[in-house]
Amino acid sequence: MPRKAIRERMLTIPDVKKVLELIGEDKLDQFQRRSLDYASKFAKVDEEKAELIIDTLKDKFGLDGEEAIQIVNCMPASVEELRVFLGGGRKIIETSKLQEILSFLDEYRK
């Protein structure tokens, strides 16, 4: 019998990595093992830092949760890359604010 979702929430790549590690690699199916491998290779920060970055992006910079999660997943390094995650150009955000966000992200890069 298929399971029914109780709630849905977006996860960062570090969140996915932690959840799959908690399950245990020996209990994962093939898809989940591939997802763990991907998450291990592409997580830009650990889970605690990801949560802190998301909270700051939302509280200090006024971004919505989805934007903040995508920024944590990719950790853009330039204003042009950052603009991609912020409304696809539909939002007008001052370059100085984008540079401030990048400076903040630079503090957490691996």
Distance, CA of 42 to CA of 36 (rounded, Å): 10
Tell me which residue has tokens 């971004």: 63
Percent of the chain predicted with pLDDT > 90? 77
Instruction: Please provide the average confidence, as pLDDT, over all residues in the chain.
Output: 92
Q: Which of 22, 6, 5, 3 is nearest to 14 (CA)?
A: 22
pLDDT, position 39: 97
User: How does residue 89 score in pLDDT terms, banded at 50, 70 and 90?
Assistant: low
**pLDDT the model gives residue 110:** 67
- The pLDDT of 54-72, averaged and rounded, is 95
Confidence at 56, pLDDT banded by 50, 70, 90: very high
